[in-house]
Amino acid sequence: MTPSLSSSTPERPLSATRLAQYATVRGRCERYLRLALFPSEGQVLMQRYGVRPEALSPLLAEAGSVFEHAAVAQLAAEAPVIDLRHRSAQACIGTIQGQSVGRALYTQVTLSGRLGPVDCEGIADVLDVVRRPDQALEITVIDIKASRRTSVSFCLQIALCRRHAGAPPAVGRGRCAPQCEM
């Protein structure tokens, strides 16, 4: 079953996380995808039924942040780390394109693109970028997860990040740091 979006433009872009939740956790629920892309429609429903969204537990958010920082610290032993947090997708891509020959790790990279008629965006945990002497870029998308198992959600996130980073299938690859490679 394919999601049916009306001809109206979504209020917010499709992210790797939203797509992964639609495909896995939410059981391909078309209503979930619709409300994820059109949050004002969800607000109307919540007001009608007198409910509020439940926030992510601060303890869970902190644990994820601590794990991610530790994983990035491990990777920092391998190459310089450049934090691109809070930069636009264009600024991130410009910074990466300006890299000199060698290897660098870019964290919290904002990426954007289109899947058919839908705008997409996401933030890659880490892009491992090698500029070769022939000026070609090799890009590895690293999605940091506490779980050691590869999930459908992880594969979707890597695929979207690869697409948005411009990593061709022959060069781009994804890995779940620091435990497994895809």
**Domain residue limits, the chain:** 58-181
CA pair distance 63, 88, nearest whole angstrom: 26
Q: What is the pLDDT of residue 6?
A: 52
Q: What is the longest distance spanned by two Cα atoms in the chain?
A: 60
Q: What is the pLDDT of residue 55?
A: 79
Q: What is the pLDDT of residue 134?
A: 94
Going residue by residue through the chain (182 aa), what tens digit of pLDDT does each one get? 444 455 578 888 888 778 878 887 767 788 888 888 899 999 999 999 999 888 777 887 787 788 888 989 998 999 999 999 999 988 998 999 999 999 999 999 988 887 778 888 888 888 999 999 999 888 888 888 777 777 776 677 677 766 666 554 433 344 444 333 33
Q: What is the DSSP string of the chain?
A: ------SSPPSS-EEHHHHHIIIIITTT-HHHHHHHH-HHHHHHHHHHHT--PPPPPHHHHHHHHHHHHHHHHHHHTTS-EEE-TT--HHHHHHHHHT--SEEEEEEEEEEEEEETTEEEEEEEEEEEEEE-TTS-EEEEEE---S-SS--HHHHHHHHHHHHHHT--TTT-EEEETTTEE-
Q: Look up the pTM and report it.
A: 0.73
Q: What is the pLDDT of residue 120?
A: 82
